[in-house]
Chains A and B, each alone.
Chain A
Amino acid sequence: MMKLTEFVIREAILPNLKATGKEDVIREMVASLKASGAIKAADEDAVVAAILKREELGSTGIGNGVAVPHTKHASVEKLSATVAISRDGVDFASLDGEDVFILFLLVSPPDRPGDHLRGLENISRHLRSQDFCNFLKQSSTTADIWDLLAEADDGDRDA
Chain B
Amino acid sequence: MEGEDVICRQVKVTPEHGLHLSPISQLVRQATTFSSSISLTFDGRKADVKSAFDLMLLAAPCGAILSLEVAGNDAPAAADAICWLFEQGFVISGPSI
Contact = CB atoms under 8 A, between A and B. Distances in A.
Nearest to B59: A121
Contacts of B95: 53-54, 57, 72
Given A57-B92, A57-B94, A95-B29, A124 B57 contact: yes
Contact of A68 (B21, B32, B54, B94): B21
A27 interface: no
Contacts of B21: 60, 62, 68, 70, 120
A157 interface: no
A121 B56 contact: yes
Interface in A108-128: 113-114, 116-117, 120-121, 124-125, 127-128
A58 B57 contact: no
Contacts of A72: 95, 97
B59 A58 contact: no
A134 to B, nearest CB: 15
B94 A53 contact: yes
B57 A113 contact: no
Contacts of A57: 22, 92-95
Contacts of A127: 53
A63 interface: yes
Interface string B18-30: 1011101110110
Which of B26, B54, B94 gathers the greatest number of chain A CB atoms within 10 Å? Answer: B94
5 contacts: A54-B97, A57-B92, A58-B22, A72-B95, A128-B53
